[in-house]
Structure formats: C-alpha cells, structure tokens
Amino acid sequence: MFLVDKQHYSVSDVEKLTGIKRHNLVYYDLEGLFSPSVARSDSNIKWVRRKYSVLDVLVLQAVAELKDKGMSFNKIRKVIEYLRENHDLEKPFHAALDGRHNVRILTDGTQAFYICFNDHEVVEYLKRGGQYMLIDISDVAFDLKEKIKALQLYKRKKEAEKCKLAHVSSLNAG
C-alpha cells in the first residue's frame, strides 16, 4: 500500500510533480480554491512554508489535467467546490490512490459533474448525451506514484552527492 499519511511535499516538490507553477499554488491557497492540508498559510505571517499531503498533490494533479484540457480557473473552481460539497473532496481521490476503485471525474465543464467508480457508470452518463470531459483519477494516481518514486530517487542521489562532497572536503582539509 502507498503511504498516504506519512509523506508531505513542499511547494517546490509539488511544482515538479504536477507542473503547476509556484505562483499558481500560492494563488490557489490564497483564493481558497485549494490549500495544503499539512501546513498552510497564515495571514499573520508573510513567509509561510506550505506542505502538501499525497492526497493534496493528487487533487492538484487532477487540477493540472483539467487545466491542460482547456478548462478555465472558474470552471476548475466549480469542480473542486462540487467535489468538496458532494463527495468529501478527499474520498474519491483516496480511493483512487490506494487502488480500491477506478475513479473518474466526468464533467461538461459547466454544471454537470459526476464521480464514476466503474465503466458502467461512465457509459450511463454518456448515454444522456452532451459533450463531456473525462479525467481518469486512477491513471493520474498511478502516474503520480511513479513521479513520486522518481523524485525520491533524485533526492536520495542529491543527498548522497552532498555527503560524498562533504567527505572529500573533510579529507582534503585534514
């Protein structure tokens, strides 16, 4: 099982994992669209370290997917608000992250938002007609896990290089 509650990520890490720029992450937090759940901004402090959980990063990755598909900020806000109000925002993402369900968001980008947990549900909504955008959260979760593994490997290598340089420096100094 993927460690959901133990890991947290800085704004820099989230930018690398999702492609969402730092200034957009800060804007999402300040505008109340999406705030980090581990450590968040405080209006009394000018500089704040935001820390995001794995679930936070997965939601933001889905936001990035919607943005890449041409959805406007206001429509993305509606999707997040809908999920927050009707599905306890984290539940469908947690189900996708731990592999319990194939979770998909189906939306027309305006008023229709659906959470589907299987192909049959997707087909039933599509039978109603209209144009829909489909975001497969399970696929996004799988890709995110791979990106997290790559980021962790990169950080371990950088740390090993630092240690090696520190060791060489201490040998040269002595």
Taking only the tens place, the pLDDT of each residue in 37-64 is 876 555 555 556 788 989 889 989 988 8
Q: Between these two residues, 143 and 1, which has the higher pLDDT value?
A: 143
Q: Which residue has tokens 């109000």?
A: 85
Residues in the chain: 174
In this structure, what token pair is assigned to residue 132?
Answer: 């829909």
* Cα dihedral 47, 144, 123, 90 sign: negative
Question: What residues contact 72, with CB distance under 8 A and at least 6 apart?
Answer: none
Residue type present at position 39: A
Provide, rounded to the nearest whole percent, the portion of the chain with pLDDT above 70: 84
State the pLDDT at residue 12. Answer: 92
Report residue 1's pLDDT band, with 50, 70 and 90 as the boundaries. Answer: very low
Taking only the tens place, the pLDDT of each residue in 94-110 is 788 887 778 888 887 66
* pLDDT at residue 3 greater than cutoff 50: no
Please name the residue ranges forming H helices in the chain: 11-18, 22-30, 54-68, 73-87, 90-97, 119-127, 137-173
Neighbours of 151 (CB within 10 A): 14
Separation CA 174–CA 114 (nearest Å): 66
Q: What's the CATH code, domain 8-173?
A: 1.10.1660.10
Question: What residues contact 36, with CB distance under 8 A and at least 6 apart?
Answer: 29, 50, 51, 52, 53, 56
63 contacts 76 by C-beta, under 8 angstroms: yes
48 contacts 35 by C-beta, under 8 angstroms: no
Q: pTM value?
A: 0.79
Q: What are the residue ranges spanned by the domains of the chain?
A: 8-173
User: How do strand 113-116 and strand 104-107 relate by DSSP bridges?
Assistant: antiparallel
36 contacts 56 by C-beta, under 8 angstroms: yes
